[in-house]
C-alpha cells in the first residue's frame, strides 16, 4: 500500500500552509529515500499500528537526518499519502488534526509511480 514513488504536493505546520521544495519520497518495503533540492536522505521504516492510522518511525541512516528518528502517522487514500510528525521532538501526533501553533507538520504526497 505504501510502496511507490510519491511527490510532495502540500504541507502544513500546525494550521499554516508551508512552502514545499520539489520533494520526492520513494518507499520500498522497509526503506525510504527523500530527494529534494537540499539533497538526498535515506533510511529505514519501522511500521506499527495506531487505530485507524498507521504508525511509522523513519530512522535516518544517510543524509542530513542520519542518526535521527521521526515518529509519524501515515495514511493512504487513493493516490494520496499523508505523513504527520512533530518537528519539536515531542511524541508522535495522535491524529492528523493539528491545532494552530503546534509544531506538527503534515505533508501530502501524490503517488507518481507504483513500485
Name the architecture of domain 4-113.
Beta Barrel (2.40)
Chain Cα centroid distance, residue 114: 17
Burial class (CB in 10 A: 0-12, 13-18, 19+), 37: exposed
CA distances to 16, 31, 37, 96 from 50, in Å: 25, 20, 32, 12
pLDDT at position 87, please?
A: 87
Residue linked to cell 519539536: 88
3-state secondary structure of 4: strand
Domain positions in the chain are 4-113
Give pLDDT tens digits for 3-50. 999 999 999 999 999 998 899 999 999 999 999 999 999 999 999 976
Amino acid at each position: 500500500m505504501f510502496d511507490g514513488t510519491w511527490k510532495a504536493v502540500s504541507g502544513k505546520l500546525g494550521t499554516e500552509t508551508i512552502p514545499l521544495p520539489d520533494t520526492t519520497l520513494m518507499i520500498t518495503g522497509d526503506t525510504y529515500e527523500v530527494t529534494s533540492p537540499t539533497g538526498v536522505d535515506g533510511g529505514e521504516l519501522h511500521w506499527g499500528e495506531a487505530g485507524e492510522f498507521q504508525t511509522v518511525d523513519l530512522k535516518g541512516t544517510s543524509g542530513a537526518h542520519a542518526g535521527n528518528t521521526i515518529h509519524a502517522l501515515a495514511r493512504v487514500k487513493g493516490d494520496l499519502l499523508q505523513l504527520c510528525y512533530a518537528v519539536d521532538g515531542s511524541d508522535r501526533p495522535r491524529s492528523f488534526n493539528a491545532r494552530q501553533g503546534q509544531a506538527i507538520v503534515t505533508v501530502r504526497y501524490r503517488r507518481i509511480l507504483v513500485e
